[in-house]
Structure 1
Amino acid sequence: MPALLTAAPFDLDAAGLRLVAEVEAYLAQLPAPANTAGAAGPLHLTCHQPPAPTPRYGSVLQPWHHGIDLPAPTLLDRLHRRRPVAQVTPGQHLLLVSRYIHQHGWLQGALWDEAGAVCVLGAQLGILQAGYSTPAVVERARELIGNEIGYLGETGPIDSWNDAPNRRAADVHQLLQRAAARVR
């Protein structure tokens, strides 16, 4: 039985509320699921463990968050009983998004699927859930992605760009790498 994905409690500032609004707007534009029998409500999200990638002979498989300190609770985190958050820059966040997509797989038309593949927004939410970012950093990273899409001469939000029929995973990784390089 898949584990139910539950969000860790954190304070929603203006950036967090905008992120929630973006997710809700994205979900609203998706077609309704074909079979909703047994769904617990309008949004039933489950988190599945993707199959472990197989490293090539002689290589060592690194986790997507390799090189970034694990979220460690501070004294204030313990006192307020809140989850720890690893502080990352928007550029680091974009590189983590690329790594997360590389490890879990890329997807179009949904936040994530049963195998664990994710779209760009799904990867950002996964990183946020893992404690490697804040809503303000995610918002700034999405602005950088939007700017990079504009540099390509295209318009629209990252979600529409991700879901374009001619889009490939390599395009997504290239966009994320270029956006991250602009803020280093």
Structure 2
Amino acid sequence: MATTLHRLPGMPDLAFVADGGELVREIERYLASLPAPARRITVPAICALGRAPVAWDLGMPRPRPTLLDRARNRPPAPVPIDTATHLRLLSRYLTVHGWCQGLLWDDAGRSCILGAQLAVLAAGYGTQTTAMHARRYLMEQFTAHDPTVRSVDQWNDTPGRTPAQVHRQLDIAAARATHH
């Protein structure tokens, strides 16, 4: 039985993935693979009121709500980005907030690759489709080196994995995505 996102305590408003797309299924598979205590999610806060400094997206245009967005109390449309930019933002997010294994986010605010993807999407950069393209680029790399890798999350959570390896793979995938 899959866990649905909207029923998880502590999960942010993930309306951007609530349509039941592939990213939602990836999140559900990942959460189902964790022991019950690790399924509790503490999400790093994203300021909904203004321009809190966020170093990881420095230089990127911030999503801006229109008058209609404010009137309807809805988030602004996401800033369109390509797959390479999504992968670079993941690396920048993980540099600033830290990387972890076995959890989407830990109590210190560090995240795994999937958690970083959710944070980038929640901040208004890209779409679920962009995130899934990024995951495909990563999977192509991982399986080229090790055909037994079954998911980005399995690769992320492999014992002995280091932050340097994570950033290196994100950089390689971003470079490949730039050239396609």
- The one-letter amino acid paired with 2:160 is N
The equivalences for 1:58-137 within 5 A come to 63-74=55-66, 77=69, 81-84=73-76, 85-137=78-130
CA distance in 2, matches of 1:10, 1:82: 11
CA distance in 2, matches of 1:20, 1:98: 21
Out of 159, 166, 170, the position equivalent to 1:172 is 166
- Aligned residues with identical type, % of pairs: 44
The equivalences for 1:14-25 within 5 A come to 17-25=21-29
Gapped regions of structure 1 (runs ≥ 5): 35-42, 50-60
1:158 corresponds to which residue? 152
CA distance in 1, matches of 2:61, 2:128: 19
CA distance in 1, matches of 2:73, 2:17: 12
Q: Which moved more, 1:98-107 or 1:74-83?
A: 74-83
User: Which protein shows a greater Rg?
Assistant: 1
Gapped regions of structure 2 (runs ≥ 5): 1-9, 46-52
Task: Provide closer, same or farther for how the CA distance between residues 25 and 78 of structure 1 changes in structure 2, counting only shifts above 3 A.
Answer: same
- The one-letter amino acid paired with 2:145 is L
Report SS of the residue matched to 1:47.
Answer: coil
Report SS of the residue matched to 2:137.
Answer: helix
Output the aligned Cα RMSD: 2.4
Residue 77 of structure 1 deviates from its aligned partner by: 4.3
2:42 corresponds to which residue? 46
Q: Which has the higher helix share?
A: 2
Residue 47 of structure 1 deviates from its aligned partner by: 2.6
Residue 72 of structure 1 deviates from its aligned partner by: 1.6
CA distance in 2, matches of 1:72, 1:102: 25
- Total equivalences in the alignment: 160
TM-score (ref. length: structure 1):
0.77
Task: Provide closer, same or farther for how the CA distance between residues 151 and 81 of structure 1 changes in structure 2, counting only shifts above 3 A.
Answer: same
Q: Is the 8 A contact 1:8 1:83 kept in 2?
A: no
- The one-letter amino acid paired with 2:59 is G
- The one-letter amino acid paired with 1:7 is D
Residue 111 of structure 1 deviates from its aligned partner by: 0.5
- The list of structure 1 runs, each at least 4 consecutive aligned residues, that deviate by more than 6 angstroms after superposition, is none
CA distance in 1, matches of 2:120, 2:54: 16
Q: Is the 8 A contact 2:82 2:130 kept in 1?
A: yes
TM-score (ref. length: structure 2):
0.78
Residue 68 of structure 1 deviates from its aligned partner by: 1.4
Residue 31 of structure 1 deviates from its aligned partner by: 1.0
Task: Provide closer, same or farther for how the CA distance between residues 10 and 76 of structure 1 changes in structure 2, counting only shifts above 3 A.
Answer: farther
Residue 144 of structure 1 deviates from its aligned partner by: 0.9
CA distance in 1, matches of 2:105, 2:175: 26
Q: Is the 8 A contact 1:9 1:83 kept in 2?
A: no
- The one-letter amino acid paired with 1:18 is E
